[in-house]
Amino acid sequence: MIDSGLKIGVLSRRAPIGQTEDLRTTVEHVGGLTRVLPALAEFARVDWTALTTQSQIGFPARYSFSKISGQNHKNEISIFLVEVNSSEISQMDWFNTHYTWLLMHDIPIPATARFDLGAILKSIQSLCQAMATKCVDASNDGYLVNDFQLSQVPAALKLLEPQKPVSFFLHTPWPKTQPQNDFALKILKFLAIGMLGADVIEFQTQNDLQAFERFVIDHLSDTAFDSKLYVNPVSIAVQDLQQQFLSHATSINLADDDISYVHIARSDPIKNTLAAIEAFTAVTGKINDAKSRRYLDVFIVPSRQQWPEYQTLLADIATCVDTCNSHLSSHAYTPIRLHIGNDYERASRALARYDYLISCSVADGLNLVVKEGAILNNR
């Protein structure tokens, strides 16, 4: 590795740190950051700071991304786990999962429960301030903050280091419909005011940028800000992707006449995995074609396993695969094949061979899998 002299502090809610069954440290997928930061490390040292999840309590505080992943970059990516008040972070995760995430995706939020919204937002702000304080480093040349869970971090960083540039990337959409009640409006104002502490705010699509801009004009007209807004969808390094594919020879066991369906996703409700499996079963059960066999390869990367809802979903996916395979038992093969884990090489082989790629919802950004599939597929 070489020292470029440039150093960037990156902050996210989750870190790509997990453990295998034999308790070895492994890299887990964390949205676009898992792909973006290795590219950034070609130009700068990266200090990646994330809040410790419930399942990571007791883990070491510092990791080397290169040592865990086996990938070499021109500059080091150091990963730091920051522990904060566990009850407060559990409350923040619960609130963001059940209210904020739905709101951001234009999904109706539940009826307001009996809790103090002001107290919850104040607690989230306090957590973000604590995280900003712990990651501030005089050697950093700037900061990149990722996603709505840390919306209050840009403003906190600016108070601590006003001369350092801060960028905020909104990985989720910004709602396209105006809120219909004060509860939702307060949440969105809270998010927007914190985000506006950044020098640059980046969105996945032009529609998200325009929706955010309209919201600020309509609801925060008295708020002074100098933030620049840009569209910056996570991109693909085409040559690197193709070279990685060529360097691996993992087989996916398909004959030339076999018809391949592929679904690659995190174990997350927004990925519609259960619906994809059931739809494949319904279609395949109606087709009587002795000339070809149909396969659905489901690649699932476990996500947010500290939450019971996500643990249940992973179990439901496995059960659904077994149930649907039993309905297709008249075939002399197992049509649905479930692959759990972050097997990037085998998933790449599947993307090169598929006939049909089943993607997640448009609201979730049609993620990187669609772009990679378009590049790798040769069918």
> What value, to the nearest 5°, has the Cα angle with vertex 93 and ends 19 and 156?
100
Residue 247: what pLDDT?
55
Confidence of residue 246 (pLDDT cuts 50, 70, 90): low
302 compared with 357, residue with greater pLDDT: 357
How distant, in Å, are the alpha carbons of 304, 319, 339 from that of 313? 11, 10, 15
Residue 106: what pLDDT?
86
Element (H, E) at 338: strand 336-340
Residue 108: what pLDDT?
84
Residue 363: what pLDDT?
56
351 compared with 341, residue with greater pLDDT: 351
What's the one-letter identity of residue 208? D
Each residue's pLDDT tens digit, 350-374: 988 899 999 876 555 456 788 888 8
The model's pTM: 0.76
Residue 35: what pLDDT?
73
- Write b or e for each residue in 152-181: b if 16 or more Cβ atoms lie within 10 A of its Cβ, otherwise e: bbbbbbbeebeebebbbbbbbbbbeeebee
2 compared with 346, residue with greater pLDDT: 346
Across the chain, mean pLDDT equals: 85
Residue 235: what pLDDT?
62
Evaluate if residue 232 carries a pLDDT over 70: yes
36 compared with 357, residue with greater pLDDT: 357
Residue 22: what pLDDT?
67
Residue percentage of the chain with pLDDT more than 70: 87
Confidence of residue 282 (pLDDT cuts 50, 70, 90): very high
125 compared with 327, residue with greater pLDDT: 125
